[in-house]
Each structure stands twice: as C-alpha cells, then as structure tokens.
Structure 1
C-alpha cells in the first residue's frame, strides 16, 4: 500500500515535534504534523517557559530588598504588568516561530488544523481533508481540568494566566500540586494577596513529606494563606469580585480565582477507542515500553500517555520512538530516576525515591540538614534550606535526593547524574566540598538523621 506519509503526528508540542524532526531530518521519513493551536504545545506556549519567566519576574522584589542589606541604595520599585506581558507574548511568538522553522527545515509538512484518527492508517483534518500514513503518532498532551461546580465559569486556568489584562489585588488559587503552588508564589511575589485552597492534608502530594512540608512552611512565612483540607463549593459573581464559598463554611471575596486542579490526557474526540486503542481511567493512552498502542501502527508519547508528565520526558519518548521505528534502533526510554523541579519560592528539586516510598521498599538511612543560607542570612531573612539524601542500608546506594533551596532545579540536575550512575553515600562522602556553597552540604553530611 502506498501512503501519503511515512509518519503523521497529531500534536505540535515537545514530544511530537521532536519525533517529527528526528524522523524526517535524521532518517529521511516523509512526515506530516497537525496542530490545532499554537506550535510548541503546553510547555512553550502555556506552561514551562512563560511560567518560568513569571517566576523570574516575581523574584525581583525580594532581590531588591536584599540589595539594601548589601549596601545598595534601591529606590522603591514598581511592577508594570502590561510591559512584562507584552514582552512575554513577543518571546512566545519568537519561540513558536523557531519551532516552525525547525520542522520546516527538517522537511516536515505542517497542517494548522485539528486532526482525528479515522482508522489505523488514516487521519482526517477539521477541513475534511484526509491523509494516509504508515505510522500515526499521538502527541496531543494534556488539557486543564476544572471541577463541575456552580460558578466554575468565573474561574480562570493556567492557560489564561499569562494573558491577564491586569494583575488582581486578591487571588484564590485552588489546588495543591506544583502548578497551583508555583502560581501562588508567583502572584505573591508580584504583590498579590494570595489564598490557596487544597482539599488534601498537605500541598505537593507525591513529593517527599519533609521537603513539601518545608516548602509549605516557607510559603506561609512569605505571606501565602494556605488552607489544607479545604475546597470550593461554589463561586458567585459579585459587584466587586468573586465570592468563594468554601467547604469549611467560610466565604471570601477575590478579584481572581485560579483553578490548578490537575490536567487530563487530551484524548477526547480523537476517535481512538473505536479503533481498539486502549485508554486508562483518566483517558490516558495505554502504551508499551516502546510507546506502541494496541493498534500496531499507532503510537503515543508525552502527557497523553500519563506516564511522567514532564517536557524532557516527552522529548526523550519522541526521540526514542523515531529511533525505534525509523532508525532501526529499538529504544525504550527509562522512566526511572527522572529528576524534577518545582519552581515555588523556595524551589524544590527531587530525584529518586521519597523517604516514605523508600522505607516501604527496604531498610534505609536518612541524611538531612536544614540551615540558613549565607546570602539571605546576611540580609536578615529567616529563609532555610533543606538538603536530604535517602540511602539504602543494604548496598549504600543513594536512592533519593531532595533539595529545597534557591536554584534547587539547577542543583538537582547535577545530583541526578551521580544518582543515575549508582553513586553510594560513600561516593558522596569522598567528594570534596565546594566552599562556601549551599550544595556542599550534600557531601558533608556524615551521620544519618534517622533510620527506617
């Protein structure tokens, strides 16, 4: 059978773009790619990139304050949201253009349209145009989820946060995951009075308990009003804002309500189930270690599979797919020991097992220390840093590392290399410290805090 394309990719995010570029540019495949929104996907357009730029923007007030302690005569600064937003949108336009150029240069044909799957080798664009392909890759990512409560239409999601007409004076953030917690810190840093509701017992579920408790305490100390065990029953529009009626019986008014209560795999309406592609309970596409679905010609990578919802993971999955299918090099991305960072203030970086997960697996030792970092201690701020290693008693391997500190994301990337290579606690001990740094504590903790 003759096909229009060797590969047709649905979704122009990180995973889909990498797969398309490698398949076409490195292996000479004919590739078509359909994207119904902006090229670059969640990360570039409405996720990691604009969020990190907002994190940078929100950190300047504390930096200005610290500068005074270091002898700088800093006049009272003010923040121009409109100027920042304009510059941000320009940067996103530039990045989207770069993605398009990269695909075009690799020989990929771009279709700016929604696409659905008709059968194992055929896709249909919103225009009605159909194309055949030997292989189909689903890389449609995730979509925001807002619970069906009365007044939900008065809330915004992370998709809209980068394009607000103006900053609110009072904001409610609903959710306790990393997106909710990051935006709570961003808004707080930009001078917004922030309240955060989370129905669970502690924010940042799934991360190490000690580390997430450290972050929560720091957020509260910085003025964020966190209410755990609390959810919104309904939202009501008022003449002066949005009234949130909570499950704890309280009622409060805000200028903005942000729902960051998770994302769902973006599989609705793609036509997959009718073809025999298995979907999980949350709608995620079920794939094997080579990202192949139950239909041999259909593959899926990235957040739509619900494995690890991180941009670098989607990129590696997309590359592995192209190597496997078009490069003749069967490659399965290893999802173990993937490092991650939460860009709260302070940041949290993690790789490997939490203390709780490790002690359920085997006997462990925990090495942990908390201290005031030199930079902010000199400025008189009460900030505290946490460094933590989880070590196997049996083979002395470091099973997990958790850091809560400024630039924790940068630190955990380097620690992840050693842990990925199987470093033991003694390997850390033999490594000479770089002084004076925060990170030197990772190689100077000699005695375990506790065993479990």
Structure 2
C-alpha cells in the first residue's frame, strides 16, 4: 500500500514536534503534523515557559528587599504594570510559536493547523474534511485542565487562562495542592495579590517527600500566602465584578478571581481511538508499552496523553525514542523510573529525583542524610529562609535512592545530581567528590553521618517476598 506519509503526528506539543522533526530531518521520513491550537503545545504556550517568565518577574520585589540587606539602602521597587508584562509575554509566545512552526516547515514537514481524528489504523481526517493515510500515526495531544465538578465552577479560571488576565487580581483564590497551584501562589503573591490557596488534603505536593514539603508549607507562611488545608470550595457565585466562594468549612469569602489547578486529564475525547480498538485507561489515557505502541500496532502515543510521567522533557525523550526506534533502526525503550523534577517556588525551589523517604522506607532499610541551614546569602541579608539537602541511601548496597533539595535554584543543582543518580552512584561516590565552596550544593557531598536510619531491614523484606511463593 502506498501511503501519503510515513508518519502523521496528531498534536504539535513537545513530544509530537520532536518525533516529527527527528523522523523527517534525521531519517528522511515523509511527515505530516496537525495541531488544532498553537504549535508548541502546553509547555511553550500555556505552561512551563510563560510560567517561568512570570516567576522571574514576580520575584523582583524579593530581590529588591534582599538588595537592601546588602547595603543598597535606596533600592526600591515601583508599581508593577501587569498589562505591559502580559503583552510582552504574549509577543514572546508568538515568537516561540512561529519558531516551532518554522522548524517543522524547514524540516520538510507538512503542517496542518486543524483538529484531526482517526478513521482507521492508517487514516486521519482533519476538521476541514481532508483525509491522509500514513504508515504510522503518533498521538501526542497532551492533556487539558480537569475541573472538580462543583456548582458555579465555570466562573473560575484554569491554569491555561491566567497568563492573559485583563487585570491583576487584588485578591485571588487558588484551588489545588500540586505544583501548578503552588507555583501560581508564589507568582501572584510576588506580584502583590492577596493570595489564598486551598487544598482538600492535609499536605500540599503529596507525591513529594513529606519532610521537604513541610519546609514549603513554612515558606508559604513566611511570604504571606494564606494556605488552608483540608478545605475545598463548594459553591462559586458571581458577586458584582468579583466572585463569592462558599467553602466546606462554612466560610464565605469574596475574590477577584478563582483559579482551579485541580489536575489535568489526557485529551483523548473525540479522537476516534476506541472506535478503532485503541485501549484507554480509566482516566482516558492511552495505554502504551515501553516502545510507546498502543494496542493497535500502527498507532503510537507519547507525552501527557499516556499519563505516566507528565513532564515536558519526558515527552521530548519519548518522541525522540519513537523516531529512533521506528525510523532510525535503533530500538530505544522508554524507561522513566528516574526522572528529576522541580517546583519553581520562591525564594527557594523544590527539586527531587528518585524515592521519597516514605516510599524508600517501605522497600528496605535506608540511611537518611539531612542538612538544614540558612545559606550565607540569606543569612547576610537578614532572611530567615532555610535550605534543605536530603539524600536517601540504601543500607545494603550504598546506592543513593533519592535526592531532595529545597533552596535557591534547586532545579539547577538537581540537574547535575540526576546524572550521578542515573548512573547508580553510591554514597561513597558522592563522598569522593570535592566540594565547591561556598555553595548550597556542597552539602550534597559533605554530609558524612546519617541523621537517622529507617525502614525494614532488607533481609526481612526478602523473607516476606519469599513467603509469597
């Protein structure tokens, strides 16, 4: 059978564009790509990139305050011009979108700015009725914000919409306890909004190490974020130009804006997947194997739509691995058991890789190394902000099972720690490294004695496992 394309990609985000470009540029595949919204996807247009720029901008008042602690007595910050920032941000996103589109075109890829859905295992149809056949089809449509299902929630915003507000809210409510809600709490507080964050659980960032998260909670208190745990909104109502919110604890409060950061769902509705036999999971995610292959042999999927590790670099790696495997003849499975990540809070970030103390202790006996201190930068300026560095080490093998950092530019530090841990570094390997002084990161290689030993001895775990057979 002669196909129109070797590969047709549905979705122009991080994973889809990487797979398309590598397949076309490096391996000579004939590629078409369809994107119903804006090329670049969630990360570039309504996620990582604009969010990080907002974080940089919102941290300026704190930097000015720190400058005064270093003797710049006349340092002061003026009024923040939200419309000016917002419009400049929009121009930058337009530039990035054009760069992504031009990159596809320069690679010889046919770009269709249309929604697409599947007709069969080799055929896609665009929203204008055009049909194309392809030897392989890659689904990379990402996810969309999920709403909690409460009365009046349509009056609220999602994280996709906050970058383009007409005016900066004087008082804002963030609903959720994950990294999106946490980062936007930092952003809006830094911009000067009265910021309230509510979460139904008893701890935010629930998938992260609990000890490290306790420092995040304290930091919110220190910078003035009103964090309320075990509380949820139950009713959202219009209140003049603002919004009135009724909470589960009976309180009623007015806000200028309400932002829901209550999770995301794979964007699989209406793609025609189930009709042609592609298996989906309970959350609507596409089920794939280690090669990103679905239950239909010619159809693959990468990125947030498979709902495994929903991070941009993971989507990019999966897209690249797909191209190498299918068109490059180099089989590269997707194994994302060791993925570093960061939560871009201010003044201190949270970064992590590997197991949390809670999970590691359930699997065996571990030594926990923790150093908590006021770094010299904070100490000198008069800030009470503390940094925390934590390593989890398997007692039996000396392998470093987890690393957690809470401090300035923690994500930058974690990127290099991730290389070592990905190579199965031991605590002895860390100890052999000579410290760079004075840095926060030197704590990673200077902690000599464990703070505590926790978990079940490995021999006991082996006995329990053997008892199952």
Q: Secondary structure at the match of 2:342?
A: strand
Partners of 2:23 and 2:434 lie apart in 1 by 44
In the other structure, the counterpart of 1:34 is 34
Partners of 1:250 and 1:433 lie apart in 2 by 51
Partners of 1:69 and 1:355 lie apart in 2 by 36
In the other structure, the counterpart of 1:314 is 315
In the other structure, the counterpart of 1:384 is 386
Partners of 1:22 and 1:7 lie apart in 2 by 11
Partners of 2:435 and 2:5 lie apart in 1 by 54
Q: Secondary structure at the match of 2:447?
A: coil
Partners of 1:319 and 1:440 lie apart in 2 by 34
Q: Secondary structure at the match of 2:39?
A: coil
Report how many residues are paired: 452
Q: Does 1:45 align with 2:27?
A: no
In the other structure, the counterpart of 1:122 is 123
Q: Secondary structure at the match of 2:86?
A: helix
In the other structure, the counterpart of 2:218 is 217
Cα deviation code 1:220-256 (max 9, x no counterpart): 1110111111111010111252111011111111101
Cα deviation code 1:152-192 (max 9, x no counterpart): 11100111111001100000000000001000110001111
Q: Secondary structure at the match of 1:148?
A: coil
Partners of 2:77 and 2:87 lie apart in 1 by 23
Cα deviation code 1:299-322 (max 9, x no counterpart): 000000011000000000000001
In the other structure, the counterpart of 2:6 is 6
Q: Secondary structure at the match of 1:439?
A: coil
In the other structure, the counterpart of 2:66 is 66
Provide runs of 4+ in structure 1 moved above 6 Å. none
Partners of 2:391 and 2:140 lie apart in 1 by 35
Partners of 1:274 and 1:70 lie apart in 2 by 65
In the other structure, the counterpart of 1:198 is 199
Partners of 1:214 and 1:262 lie apart in 2 by 23
Residue 76 of structure 1, CA deviation: 3.9
Residue 348 of structure 1, CA deviation: 0.3
Partners of 1:213 and 1:264 lie apart in 2 by 28
Cα deviation code 1:85-142 (max 9, x no counterpart): 1111111111111101111111100001000001000000000111111100000000
Cα deviation code 1:321-363 (max 9, x no counterpart): 0111111111112202110000112210000110011111111
Partners of 1:386 and 1:75 lie apart in 2 by 30
Residue 83 of structure 1, CA deviation: 1.0
Partners of 1:438 and 1:159 lie apart in 2 by 34
Map 1:37-436; keep pairs closer than 5 Å.
Answer: 37-72=37-72, 73-345=74-346, 346-436=348-438
Partners of 2:95 and 2:77 lie apart in 1 by 32
Residue 77 of structure 1, CA deviation: 2.1
Partners of 1:318 and 1:138 lie apart in 2 by 10
Q: Secondary structure at the match of 1:233?
A: strand
Partners of 2:151 and 2:237 lie apart in 1 by 8
Q: Which moved more, 1:371-380 or 1:388-397?
A: 371-380
Q: Secondary structure at the match of 1:261?
A: coil
Residue 201 of structure 1, CA deviation: 1.0
In the other structure, the counterpart of 2:457 is none
Partners of 2:363 and 2:62 lie apart in 1 by 41
Alpha-carbon RMSD across the aligned residues, in angstroms, is 0.8
Q: Secondary structure at the match of 1:24?
A: helix
Partners of 2:84 and 2:77 lie apart in 1 by 18
Q: Which moved more, 1:285-294 or 1:327-336?
A: 327-336
Unaligned 5+ segments in structure 1 are none
Cα deviation code 1:61-90 (max 9, x no counterpart): 000011111122213422111111111111
Assess if the C-alpha contact under 8 Å between 2:292 and 2:334 holds in 1. no
Q: Which moved more, 1:431-440 or 1:16-25?
A: 431-440
Q: Secondary structure at the match of 2:425?
A: coil
Q: Secondary structure at the match of 1:67?
A: helix
Q: Secondary structure at the match of 1:131?
A: strand
Assess if the C-alpha contact under 8 Å between 2:153 and 2:236 holds in 1. yes
Cα deviation code 1:260-314 (max 9, x no counterpart): 0010001011010111111001000000000000000000000000110000000
Partners of 1:442 and 1:24 lie apart in 2 by 42
Label 1:418 to 1:245 Cα distance change in 2 as closer, same or farther (>3 A). same
TM-score by length of 1: 0.99
Q: Secondary structure at the match of 2:442?
A: helix
Partners of 1:122 and 1:393 lie apart in 2 by 54
TM-score by length of 2: 0.95
In the other structure, the counterpart of 2:441 is 439
